[in-house]
Amino acid sequence: MKAVVYEKYGSPDVLELREVKTPTPKDDEVLIRIHAVSINDWDWGLLQGTPFMTRLLSGFLRPKKIILGSDIAGRIEALGENVKRFQLGDAVFGDLSGSWGGFAEYVCAPETALALKPPSMTFAEAAAIPQAAMLAVQGLRDRGGIQPGQKVLINGAGGGVGTFAVQIAKLYGVEVTGVDSSSKLDLLRSLGFDKVIDYAQEDFTRSGTRYDLILDVKTNRSIFDYARALSPNGTYVTVGGSLARLFQILFIGPLISMTTKKTICVAMLKPNKDLAYMCELFEAGKVKPVIDRLRTLSEIPEAMRHFGAGDHKGKIVVTLD
Ligand SMILES: NC(=O)c1ccc[n+]([C@@H]2O[C@H](COP(=O)([O-])OP(=O)(O)OC[C@H]3O[C@@H](n4cnc5c(N)ncnc54)[C@H](OP(=O)(O)O)[C@@H]3O)[C@@H](O)[C@H]2O)c1
């Protein structure tokens, strides 16, 4: 099969389209012919081997898994002996983070990592959903405890997580402010953000406005700045950002939560937990993935460059049809 592989950490230039052996499913796995795969921040970090700490798992000097890509959608072509939930030909999607292998024509995946793709959802839409939508749902609902009538802010609003988060937040009847670069503000308005802030022009933590819930994908400020931007009972949830800032939140967040009525916490991704919920929302017409543009397998290095530059709006999806 064809796959985009990398054997050393680096820029997108180290990615190479090559013939490799098609994998064979283990007993609890299925073989999927991939129709679409989306790019996540995690792929970007693994490509470069940053932050350096992640190499403890991904390989100290060189990557152990040479094919990136976690969020895939495709059709089942072979079944392991113990697979119960799926049949040959089923259209499925899911997040394979940990095992990866999505930048390829075929991948093996445990059946537990997959959900059936609704017929009305394209493969590209399905591939856009897993990591970004799970972080949005779990950040807003599970960790953030979003409630009707709240004033919500999404920082880093125009990327994968933010473009799902606003659609989900609006279902709760809240007022949502989005923060991103000026080039994304029109998109944010069209997605339903009530207010938008260009982060180059305004620091939302210093404007004096207080939010009941902040969902942050870019955590790059001091925890005390975020605490200041919260209403007295407010909740700040980060899903990612600067490692130093995340450690600050992990260690100092509980102290702030103990001494005030504010909550400051990190949402850890529970992969694939809410795929069925996302399918329901999609089928009801309540959520639609925002796809920046479609690319082909051979264009993955270019797609990764595009992702790294931060120019993308919503999700970058690679299709293999
Ligand atoms: N918690 C977990 O278990 C877990 C698991 C996987 C991934 N993650 C994390 O989840 C996040 C994924 O987010 P995503 O897919 O939405 O990323 P994304 O698609 O790259 O979107 C990030 C957005 O933030 C904007 N941005 C950049 N600098 C900003 C700033 N200073 N202030 C406000 N916005 C800014 C970017 O726009 P411009 O570039 O135009 O400025 C972009 O639109 C990453 O942080 C990743 O590390 C967490």
Largest distance between two CA atoms of the chain: 60
Mean pLDDT of the chain: 97
Q: Residue with the nearest Cα to atom 47 of ligand 1?
A: 240
Q: Residue with the nearest Cα to atom 8 of ligand 1?
A: 240
3-state secondary structure of 127: helix
pLDDT of residue 188: 98
Measured CA to CA, the distance from residue 287 to residue 290 in angstroms comes to: 9
Tell me the CA–centroid distance for residue 242 and ligand 1, in Å: 10
| Beta strands 175-180 and 195-198, pairing class | parallel
Q: Are 167 and 287 in contact (CB under 8 A)?
A: yes
Q: Are 77 and 29 in contact (CB under 8 A)?
A: no
Q: Residue with the nearest Cα to atom 42 of ligand 1?
A: 159
Tell me the CA–centroid distance for residue 161 and ligand 1, in Å: 7
3-state secondary structure of 113: helix
pLDDT of residue 265: 96
Token readout for 1 is 């099969």
H helix or E strand, kind and range, residue 276: helix 275-283
Closest CA to 136 of 178, 99, 98: 178
292 Cβ inside 6 Å of ligand 1: no
Tell me the CA–centroid distance for residue 281 and ligand 1, in Å: 23
Q: Are 107 and 23 in contact (CB under 8 A)?
A: yes
Q: Are 165 and 140 in contact (CB under 8 A)?
A: yes
pLDDT of residue 53: 87
Q: Name, in order, each residue with C-beta under 8 angstroms of 57's C-beta and a sequence gap of 6 or more.
A: none
Measured CA to CA, the distance from residue 79 to residue 283 in angstroms comes to: 27
Ligand 1 atom closest to residue 268's alpha carbon, by position in its atom list: 3
| Beta strands 29-38 and 106-110, pairing class | antiparallel
Q: Are 31 and 24 in contact (CB under 8 A)?
A: yes
Q: Are 192 and 166 in contact (CB under 8 A)?
A: yes
Candidate from 70, 185, 217, 274 with most ligand 1 atoms within 8 A of CB, to mutate: 217
Tell me the CA–centroid distance for residue 152 and ligand 1, in Å: 17
Low-confidence ranges of the chain (pLDDT < 50): none
The one-letter amino acid code at 24 reads T
pLDDT of residue 169: 98
- Distances from the Cα of 182 to the Cαs of 84, 146, 178, 202, 312, in angstroms? 49, 27, 11, 11, 13
pLDDT of residue 163: 98
pTM, two decimals, is 0.97
